[in-house]
Amino acid sequence: MSQHVLDAALASLPRIALAHLPTPLIEVPALSRRLGVDLWIKRDDASSGAEAGNKIRKLELLLARAVREGADVVLTCGGIQSNHARATALCAARLGLRCVLFLRVADLTARLPDGGNVLLDRLAGAEIHPITHAQYRERDQLMADAAATLRRLGQRPYVIPEGGSDGLGALGYALAMREVRDQLAVGLGGARPYDVVVHACGSGGTAAGCVLAAKVMGVAPRVRTMAVCDDAAYFERRVGAIMAESREWLVRQGAPADAVAASEADWTVDDHARGPAYGVATDEQRRFLVEVSRLSGLVLDPVYTGKAFHGLSRAISRGDVTPGSRVLFIHTGGLPGVLANPEVFEDAL
Ligand X SMILES: *Cc1c(COP(=O)(O)O)cnc(C)c1O
Residues contributing to the site for ligand X (CB under 6 A):
53-54, 83-84, 163, 165, 200-207, 301, 304-305, 332-334
Nearest CB to ligand X, comparing residues 171 and 207? 207
- Catalytic residue, chosen from 47, 48, 82, 203, is 82
82 is catalytic: yes
CB of 345 to ligand X, least distance (A): 17
Nearest CB to ligand X, comparing residues 88 and 183? 88
- Number of C-alpha atoms within 13 angstroms, CB side, residue 167? 14
CA dist., res. 209 & res. 264, Å (int): 10
Per-residue CA distances from 190 to 3, 28, 93, 133, 184 (Å): 21, 13, 39, 46, 7
CB of 84 to ligand X, least distance (A): 5
CB of 163 to ligand X, least distance (A): 3
CA dist., res. 255 & res. 187, Å (int): 29
CB of 334 to ligand X, least distance (A): 3
| Rg from Cα positions in the chain | 19
Nearest CB to ligand X, comparing residues 304 and 329? 304
Nearest CB to ligand X, comparing residues 15 and 199? 199
CA dist., res. 142 & res. 148, Å (int): 10
**CA angle at residue 300 from 38 to 281, to 5 degrees?**
115
Q: Which residues are CB-neighbours of 140 under 8 A, at least 6 positions away?
A: 161
Catalytic residues: 82
